[in-house]
Amino acid sequence: MDTAVSLGVARLGMVDYMAALELQNALVAARIRDAIGDTLLLLEHPHVYTLGRGADASYLTKATGSVAIHRVSRGGQVTYHGPGQIVGYPIVKLAGARRDVSRYLRKLEQVMIAALREYDIEATRRDGMTGVWAGSRKIASIGVGIRRWVTMHGFALNVTTDLRYFDAIVPCGIEGCRMTSIAAFGNPQVTVAETLATIEHAFAAAFEYDRIVAAEPHRLWALLESTADRCEASG
């Protein structure tokens, strides 16, 4: 009998922020009822600023022009997502000893630290803070939500991100925080495409999955459609 623990990974490309949020909600519901296994969504967003559920709007310090702003149910303050940044949304059931939010956050940091080591970047944590730093600058942000012990939202790693978009905010509500990226930290040749595999393997190792399997994007989007159909039928 095959007892290997698999991680499904879906590479979704560029996805509108609110569409991705709706997909997460559908997948969390599916994971709660065990209709799917643990799944990691990897994607990019068009330019967007997001605020956590208790975030202080004053951390949006400049006019953002045409860039959308959304307040959502994750933890944390304000952050930016955009092209060149890998966003990871783990839809993972925390059971047994894994039901520890602090442990889960440290594991996400471990994923980023291990991935960055592949680019000769010795990233670190900071006491009392969540996220990952490269030198004096922050390179990866984390903000999570958990519903009935199934996770959503997740992490954002700057790869080739246009860092000027962070100038309109106080990143993560940390005064004086400056952001960096893999490209800006001495790897100008890096691409998002090549970094995806690095993230996948670092995540599987940190969370002790035995194997990675490709999750077909069209099947995941179909779960969103079926959720909408059920809502209409029950309405």
Please give the Cα distance from 203 to 172 (Å, whole number).
23
Contact 212, 6 (CB under 8 A): yes
Please give the Cα distance from 125 to 132 (Å, whole number).
5
- Catalytic: which of 27, 169, 172, 179? 172
Report helix angle 217-234 to 17-32, nearest 10: 80
Measuring CA to CA, which residue among 155, 207, 189 is closest to residue 43?
155
Please give the Cα distance from 106 to 161 (Å, whole number).
24
Q: Is 177 part of the annotated catalytic residue set? A: no
Tell me which residues are annotated as active site. 172
